[in-house]
Structure 1
Amino acid sequence: MKTCRLWPLLCALSLSLSIGCQREPPATAPAEAPPDTTDAQAGGPALQVTTIDGTPYDLADRRGKWVVVNFWATWCSPCLKEMPELSALGAMREHVEVIGLAYEEIEPEAMRAFLEKHPVLYPIAIVDVYAPPAGFDTPRGLPMTYLIDPDGRIAKKFLGPVTAHEVETAIAAAGGPEVPQA
């Protein structure tokens, strides 16, 4: 029974000795500045990717337009459902451009085959799920859509499926053209 009473005392003594015997932490070099993840001119996110057809895509080159940046995946049912509507939105509205960022591990050939069955009129790029574009939040779910204003700043973020009407309403709310009446 005496060891049971001594146990807390031994633990306290051991803890105090271990604290007192710690070495000074080594001096560390100043941390490197994080990579630039924003467009310095706009104060918004930077996005530079290569689409699956090999074309470079730079969000900064889209100034003057509203840009819909849509994170999606081939296995995501809500993503597939919104693709035709986003494609029509980009095709029907001169002031709106759409880019799809495939957020999954997939080979370009497999993506091309998928898009033959599910065609869209906007460019698609495959992004690394372990290093998504740093100017954007890591998607908490899919689809995840960002509306970028003509100055290059994030005007609205949508988690979950989005309709063309919701995008156009967000554009109007942010000072863009009014939603066309049907």
Structure 2
Amino acid sequence: MKLLAPLVFAAACLSAMPSARADMPVQPKLKVATLDGKTFDLAAERGKWVIVNYWATWCVPCIKEMPDISKFVAEHKDKVAAIGLAYDDSEKADIQAFLVKHPVVYPVAQVTLDKPLPDFDEPRGLPTTWLIAPDGKVAKRFVGTVNEQSLGEAIGLGKK
């Protein structure tokens, strides 16, 4: 229990961080090879909201939020897309095996610690989720878990 308090404090500090770094591009670029051998290009998703979700196989909160993100994307597939970024130095086969146990409806790519994405901050806590507006601009960054409600409120697609 003594270790839990510092972790809770650290998480609270991270959630108070600003939404983006000052030098982050207004319209970030993201073009990555997905684990299924395809390419995800953020620019090709213009006109939709895009959820860019950093997670790891060892991250319990990440695992908890994955079904919510998946359900949200499935329910709003005409308006919302997502890309999962496994921020993990695990072997590709290990991440694929993890996804068999924890399936999602959106593509997943691996981002290794030694090759961060140039237009996105390296996450200082996991999960970290970037919400990109239909015009390609960063709308919001969440540090910590997201769910259907928080995503819906941020996008304006809340339950009625």
TM over 0.5: yes
Q: CA deviation at 1:98?
A: 1.2
Which of 129, 142, 145 does residue 145 from structure 1 map onto?
129
1:163 equivalent in structure 2: 147
Name whichever of 79-88 and 121-130 sits farther off.
121-130
* 1:18-167 equivalences in 2 (<5 Å): 38=25, 43-93=26-76, 94-167=78-151
> What does the per-residue CA deviation read over 1:104-130, in whole Å, with 9 as the maximum and x for residues that have no partner?
101211111111111111100001212
Partner in structure 2 of residue 179 of structure 1: 158
Q: Partners in 2 of 1:130 and 1:160 — Cα distance? A: 23
Displacement, 1:132?
1.3
Q: Which runs of 5+ in 2 are unaligned?
A: 1-23
1:179, CA displacement in angstroms? 1.6
Alignment of 1:1-16 (within 5 A): none
Equivalent AA in structure 1 for residue 109 of structure 2: A
Please report how far the alpha carbon of residue 131 of structure 1 lies from its aligned counterpart in structure 2 after TM superposition: 2.3
Question: Runs of 4 or more off by more than 4 Å in structure 1?
Answer: none
- Residue 180 of structure 1, CA deviation: 2.8
Q: How many residues align?
A: 136
Question: Which ranges of structure 1 fall in alignment gaps of 5 or more residues?
Answer: 1-36, 173-177
- Native 8 Å contact 2:149 2:159 kept in 1: no
Aligned residues: CA RMSD: 1.2
Match of 1:6 in 2: none
- Structure with larger Rg: 1
C-alpha separation between the residues in 2 aligned to 1:163 and 1:117?
20
Identity of aligned residues (%): 50
Q: Scaled by the length of structure 1, what TM-score is found?
A: 0.72
Residue deviations 1:15-34 (CA, integer Å, cap 9, x gap):
xxxxxxxxxxxxxxxxxxxx
Counterpart residue identity of residue 39, structure 2:
P
Q: Partners of 1:106 and 1:45 in 2: how far apart?
A: 26
SS of residue matched to 2:85: strand
Determine the C-alpha separation between the residues in 2 that align with 1:161 and 1:69: 13
Q: TM-score, normalised by structure 2?
A: 0.82
